[in-house]
């Protein structure tokens, strides 16, 4: 039941195989109770604004520490959460945790916006906007401090419904970002009809752009087009200085990736941020 064996081929399993896969069955059985058992936690990965080289925001990324299997990546258990109907409970937990963290950081004078990932099923949840509003009120967090990241594939699954919910959320003042842009089939022209503020270029185009002329051309074109449509651009998965510099020269607004920093626990994040500010770091440095 190792997580490693799953990594080697989980995405090409057929449904039929899935049902017999002992690793999946085990996760299915345990996920429901994981919240109550305190096995979930969030890590935070910073995003840097290229022009000013400042850290304006962090993305909350979910982790599950399984008592027997160890750390389970979200790509393994989020699809299961959707399948067994606990994704809304998990998203509520994530939002609660992220807003609590936002308030804590604010009290510590750490001025950082937080982005939370939504899942395909969350937009079908009529209660989502209501719950968001209640949580913002409960923690006294400004909606401007919160971004929701949504992948294009799940907007395309039900575009009419998605638009309605997104409008609702955006009217509250929450920012919206299209995650993994370039991997789905939607055009920027279509996305522009939604109340979207930023797009995140998928890391599959970014990770190797320094060595792959096609990738760098795609990235450059997306940035150009997005800017002309009035959208801000985040590049995710930046792993080296060369890509960082290329993105800067293309006018990319924000970058995120291991080259800047990996996802960190809240206390590590704070320590890193303070050290970074104190050392007066200049562009393209860790």
d(CA 237, CA 273): 19
| Interaction between residue 117 and Mg ion (CB under 5 A) | yes
Which one of Mg ion, ligand C2E, none interacts with residue 147, CB within 5 to 8 A by kind?
A: none
Q: Ramachandran region of residue 181, left (φ > 0), alpha (ψ -120 to 50) or beta?
A: beta
Please choose, out of 71-79, 167-175, 182-190, 213-221, the segment that lies near ligand C2E by the rule CB under 6 A: 71-79
Interacting residues with Mg ion between 22 and 51 (CB under 5 A): none
User: Smallest distance, Å, CB 78 to ligand C2E?
Assistant: 5
Residues in contact with ligand C2E, total (CB under 6 A)?
Answer: 23
d(CA 201, CA 180): 6
Judge whether 101 and 93 are in contact, CB under 8 Å: no
Residue of the chain from 78, 148, 194, 219 that contacts ligand C2E (CB under 6 A): 78
Judge whether 179 and 200 are in contact, CB under 8 Å: yes
d(CA 286, CA 43): 19
Q: 151, 178, 8: which is closest to 76 by C-alpha?
A: 8
| Interaction between residue 198 and Mg ion (CB under 5 A) | no
Helix/strand/coil for 176: strand
Please choose, out of 15-23, 93-101, 171-179, 241-249, the segment that lies near Mg ion by the rule CB under 5 A: 171-179
User: Smallest distance, Å, CB 90 to ligand C2E?
Assistant: 7
Residues that bind ligand C2E (CB under 6 A): 45, 61-62, 73-75, 78, 94, 117-119, 149, 179-180, 203, 207, 236-239, 257-258, 263
């Amino acid at each position: 039941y190792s997580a490693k064996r799953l990594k080697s081929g989980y995405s090409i399993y057929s449904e039929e195989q899935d049902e017999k896969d002992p690793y999946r069955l085990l996760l299915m059985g345990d996920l429901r109770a994981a919240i109550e058992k305190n096995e979930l936690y969030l890590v935070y990965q910073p995003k840097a604004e290229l022009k000013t080289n400042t850290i304006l925001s962090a993305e909350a990324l979910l982790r599950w520490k399984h008592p027997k299997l160890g750390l389970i990546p979200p790509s393994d258990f989020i699809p299961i959460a959707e399948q067994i109907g606990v994704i809304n409970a998990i998203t509520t937990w994530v939002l609660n945790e992220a807003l609590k963290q936002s308030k804590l950081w604010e009290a510590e004078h750490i001025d950082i916006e937080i982005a939370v990932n939504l899942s395909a099923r969350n937009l079908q949840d009529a209660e989502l906007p209501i719950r968001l509003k209640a949580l913002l009120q409960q923690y006294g967090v400004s909606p401007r401090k919160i971004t929701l990241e949504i992948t294009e594939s799940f907007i395309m699954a039900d575009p009419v419904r998605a638009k309605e919910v997104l409008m609702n959320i955006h009217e509250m003042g929450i920012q919206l970002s299209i995650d993994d842009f370039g991997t789905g089939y939607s055009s920027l022209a279509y996305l522009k009809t939604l109340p979207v503020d930023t797009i995140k270029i998928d890391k599959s185009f970014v990770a190797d752009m320094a060595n792959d002329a096609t990738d760098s051309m795609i990235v450059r074109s997306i940035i150009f087009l997005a800017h002309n449509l009035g959208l801000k651009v985040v590049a995710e998965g930046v792993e080296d200085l060369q890509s960082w510099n290329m993105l800067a020269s293309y006018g990319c607004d924000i970058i995120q990736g291991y080259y800047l920093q990996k996802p960190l626990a809240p206390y590590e994040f704070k320590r890193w941020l303070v050290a970074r500010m104190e050392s007066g770091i200049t562009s393209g440095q860790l």
